[in-house]
Amino acid sequence: MTPILDVRNLVTEFATQPGNPALKAVDDVSFALNRGEILGLVGESGSGKSVTGFSIMGLVDPPGRVSQGQVLFEGRDLTGLGPADMRDLRGRRIAMVFQDPMMTLNPVLRVGTQLTETLHAHEQLSRREAWSRARDALAMVGIPSPEERMNAYPHQFSGGMRQRVAIAIAILHKPDLIIADEPTTALDVTIQAQVIHEFQRLAETANTAVIWITHDLAIVSRLADRIAVMYGGRLVESGPVADILTRPRHPYTKGLIGSVPSQNSRGQRLMQIPGMTPGLGRLPAGCAFQARCARADALCRVQPELSIEGERGYRCFHPIAEQVAGA
């Protein structure tokens, strides 16, 4: 089966001052996604998750650029596509829920207008049909009194409500791929569960593939089929979610799992990964995790290649062999 999305050796860099090297926010990232599959993309702040999403969407603006690699969507490389073709794909076939919903919403248009215009842009349908589909989409993401709220402007919604409207816009066309960047962070737990359920339903019924970007491993373990872990612009580990969470091979993944409250028994101190992510300009030569890794040695001063074991892959010279405690 051809994956719906096949990202190959993607590099996205940002130019800095003249004379200085560009910073690689995404560095040689490869992963593939089948139809209907949900991938949890995790990693600390600044690890390159959003830039990976923007790169796939063709939304990296100068001083940034995709400098190497391919983004194959149904086998067609999007990095070579012109702006008009890319616009046609966006919204209809590929959609993104941004960390900031105002990147989707227009502040001066009523929400109903924005939803129905999105529908009219790619589909032939009557005003009445568009209105009822738009209203139903608002109901699906848990907006109370959706009929009335169609007439409101974005500023009349709370932050969490605006995010829900942005999610409704993203799912309107039942796209083949949705990149959802921290979509539920601003939402309370009940609504979060509802939105997660909606994405699962979309994956099952419309075969939509989802990249779910988050810091929250608990959500990933509930929602995702596979997980990809980023650190310092690189993908350091990926594979089926249950495998990775019970038997992480990369020390950074193990550290992330250890810092999830639900994985710790009551009263036990949360494990923290010591140190901080170094800024992109200050990454050491070799493995970016060196300074924080208990297993680091002289070998780690060169960049570890990707090791493949069945459906999983990792970049580490001294992978962990044992199962995590309590898993």
Ligand X SMILES: Nc1ncnc2c1ncn2[C@@H]1O[C@H](COP(=O)(O)OP(=O)(O)OP(=O)(O)O)[C@@H](O)[C@H]1O
Give the residue, chosen from 56, 304, 312, 313, that forms a contact with ligand SF4 under the rule CB under 6 A.
Answer: 304
> Is position 131 an interface residue for ligand X (rule: CB under 6 A)?
no
SS3 state of residue 277: coil
Cβ–Cβ under 8 Å, residues 292 and 275:
yes
> Is position 95 an interface residue for ligand X (rule: CB under 6 A)?
no
Q: How far is the CB of 322 from ligand SF4 (least distance, A)?
A: 15
In sequence order, which residues have a C-beta less than 8 Å from that of residue 222 and are 6 or more positions away? 196
Q: Which does 48 bind (CB under 5 to 8 A by kind): Mg ion, ligand SF4, ligand X, none?
A: ligand X
62, 108, 64, 71: which is closest to 93 by C-alpha?
A: 71
> Is position 221 an interface residue for Mg ion (rule: CB under 5 A)?
no
* Residues 142-181 contacting ligand X, CB under 6 A: none
User: In angstroms, how far apart are the furthest CA atoms of the chain?
Assistant: 67
181, 149, 179: which is closest to 165 by C-alpha?
A: 149
Q: Site map for Mg ion, 19-58, x if CB under 5 A?
A: -------------------------------x--------
Cβ–Cβ under 8 Å, residues 286 and 301:
yes
Q: Site map for ligand X, 1-30, x if CB under 6 A?
A: -------------x----------x-----
> Is position 280 an interface residue for ligand X (rule: CB under 6 A)?
yes
**Two tokens at 153?**
């402007």
18, 74, 20, 78: which is closest to 54 by C-alpha?
A: 78
> Is position 289 an interface residue for ligand SF4 (rule: CB under 6 A)?
yes
First-to-last CA distance in the chain? 32
Give the residue, chosen from 42, 53, 293, 312, that forms a contact with ligand SF4 under the rule CB under 6 A.
Answer: 293
> Distance (Å, rounded) from C-alpha 241 to C-alpha 252?
15
> Is position 47 an interface residue for ligand X (rule: CB under 6 A)?
yes
> Is position 287 an interface residue for ligand SF4 (rule: CB under 6 A)?
yes
Q: Which residues bind ligand SF4 (CB under 6 A)?
A: 250-251, 287, 289-290, 293, 295-296, 300, 304, 316-318
